[in-house]
């Protein structure tokens, strides 16, 4: 991952801690190594504990998890104080912004740390051939086991489904409450900002000024931590689209040439907007891109835009364009969809929830479903 700056340079989040630290400059290289290196030897165990929150049994490594909590539970703005210069602060702010939370929110430091540690330990992979191959693989495995998949059918009531011992819903809490007749069980659930996404077909690679973004699968766009913080606050707290949105961009064809015809590239970018926003962020997004890749607009062959209404129409879990299926402000990333030790259960003994509205929250990790499946199995064994 790369994060370019207006002066034509860039910081990187590489598999190598040393390479990443060096991109921050000599004043912050040591501070970064001291932040991440203690956790990397125990990353697999730490990740399993973190992805299993809230814990219903003793953690596998309570000491490391406690140390991680001390480092990550404070706001990201506190974590950024470890660094002198903007390069490290800005990259960290960008990592936190992936979950659309203001930088001064509780536990946002943990978000930045998890993204950084995952990059060093396992990388940020892209599926060869497109993310559809992941869905195809999962669907294929299910059908091999005798499962059946029905699409283009809206479930409006629990009675629309055949009799079963358990029903597991990958939906928003709002939809589940309506379908299963749970009343106000999730009345306190809140949704976060939406996003405005643009998919591009380009006649060549993005003309980044800095060298590092030219070979990176993911590129963050934000001049400094203050600009990123202002963009997040505008969308999450002020109810307006930012003038200079923080952008998360991905250029899949840079690392997987099969995604586009020879000499052409695919590229996408999104910025944060208020939940349910109906405006057009295209010009603001492309002005941001032009700051770091002059001539970008000249490379555009075609673009397809999707704001909150379009995203919600494509996926009912994206309520108001919230691709995280719920606000992560405060402790809502951990205490979702409601404060309880059993987040996958509902007040209906046969109904469970397994979407990104449950711990450990949004991401391509599958752990919400994994944890929910274990909860279902435990319940069935008791009956």
List C-alpha distances in Å: 162 to 157, 165, 166, 172, 292.
11, 10, 11, 21, 54
The DSSP 8-state label assigned to residue 33 in this structure reads H
Contacts of 199 (CB under 8 A, 6+ apart): 266, 267, 268, 303, 304, 306
Q: Show me where the domains of the chain are located.
A: 2-121, 132-189+329-382, 194-314
Per-residue pLDDT tens for 301-334?
A: 999 999 999 999 999 999 999 999 999 887 787 7
Per-residue pLDDT at 130: 93
Pairing mode, if any, of strands 218-221 and 194-202? unpaired
C-alpha closest to that of 275 among 307, 228, 247, 316: 307
CA dihedral 53, 55, 60, 61 (to 10 degrees): 70
- What's phi and psi for 270, nearest 5 deg? -145, 150
pLDDT attached to residue 363:
86
pLDDT at 79: 93
Supply the pLDDT for residue 137: 96
Q: How many Cβ atoms sit within 10 Å of the Cβ of residue 133?
A: 11
Q: Provide block-wise average pLDDT over 10 residues at a time, the chain (383 residues).
A: 98 98 98 97 91 77 90 91 97 94 88 95 93 95 96 94 97 98 95 98 99 98 98 96 98 96 97 98 99 98 99 97 91 86 96 96 90 95 87
Q: What six digits make up the tokens of 2?
A: 């790369």
Phi, psi of 221 (to 5 degrees): -125, 115
| pLDDT of the residue at 87 | 98
pLDDT at 59: 84
pLDDT in tens, 120-147: 999 999 999 999 999 999 999 999 999 9
In this structure, what token pair is assigned to residue 243? 């003038």
Element (H, E) at 50: helix 43-51
The per-residue pLDDT for 164 is 96
User: What number does CATH give the domain 194-314?
Assistant: 3.30.519
């Amino acid at each position: 991952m790369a994060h370019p700056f207006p002066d034509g340079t860039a910081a990187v989040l590489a598999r190598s801690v040393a390479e990443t630290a060096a991109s921050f400059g000599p004043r912050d290289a040591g501070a970064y190594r001291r932040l991440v290196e203690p956790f990397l030897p125990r990353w697999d165990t730490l990740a399993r504990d973190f992805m299993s929150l809230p814990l219903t049994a003793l953690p596998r490594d309570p000491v490391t998890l406690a140390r991680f909590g001390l480092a990550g539970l404070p706001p990201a703005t506190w974590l950024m104080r470890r660094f002198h210069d903007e390069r490290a602060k800005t990259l960290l702010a960008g990592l936190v912004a992936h979950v659309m939370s203001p930088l001064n929110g509780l536990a946002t430091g943990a978000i930045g740390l998890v993204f950084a540690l995952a990059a060093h330990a396992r990388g940020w992979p892209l599926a060869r051939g497109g993310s559809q191959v992941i869905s195809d693989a999962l669907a294929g495995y299910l059908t091999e086991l005798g499962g059946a998949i029905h699409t283009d059918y809206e479930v409006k009531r629990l009675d629309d489904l055949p009799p079963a011992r358990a029903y597991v819903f990958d939906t928003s809490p709002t939809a589940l409450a309506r379908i299963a007749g749970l009343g106000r069980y999730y009345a306190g659930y809140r949704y976060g900002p939406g996003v405005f996404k643009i998919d591009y077909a380009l006649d060549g690679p993005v003309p980044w000024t800095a060298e590092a973004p030219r070979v990176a699968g993911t590129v963050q766009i934000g001049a400094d931590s203050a600009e990123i913080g202002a963009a997040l606050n505008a969308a999450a707290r002020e109810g307006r689209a930012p003038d200079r949105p923080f952008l998360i961009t991905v250029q899949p064809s840079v690392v997987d040439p099969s995604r586009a015809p020879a000499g052409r590239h695919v590229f996408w970018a999104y910025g944060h907007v208020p939940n349910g926003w109906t405006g057009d962020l295209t010009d603001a997004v492309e002005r941001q891109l032009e700051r770091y890749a002059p001539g970008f607009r000249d490379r555009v062959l075609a673009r397809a835009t999707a704001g909150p209404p379009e995203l919600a129409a494509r996926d009912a879990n994206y309520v108001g364009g919230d691709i995280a299926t719920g606000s992560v402000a405060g402790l809502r990333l951990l205490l979702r969809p409601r404060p309880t030790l059993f987040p996958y259960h509902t007040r209906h003994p046969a109904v469970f929830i397994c979407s990104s509205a449950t711990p450990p929250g949004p991401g391509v990790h599958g752990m919400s479903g994994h944890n929910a499946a274990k909860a279902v199995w435990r319940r069935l064994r008791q009956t």
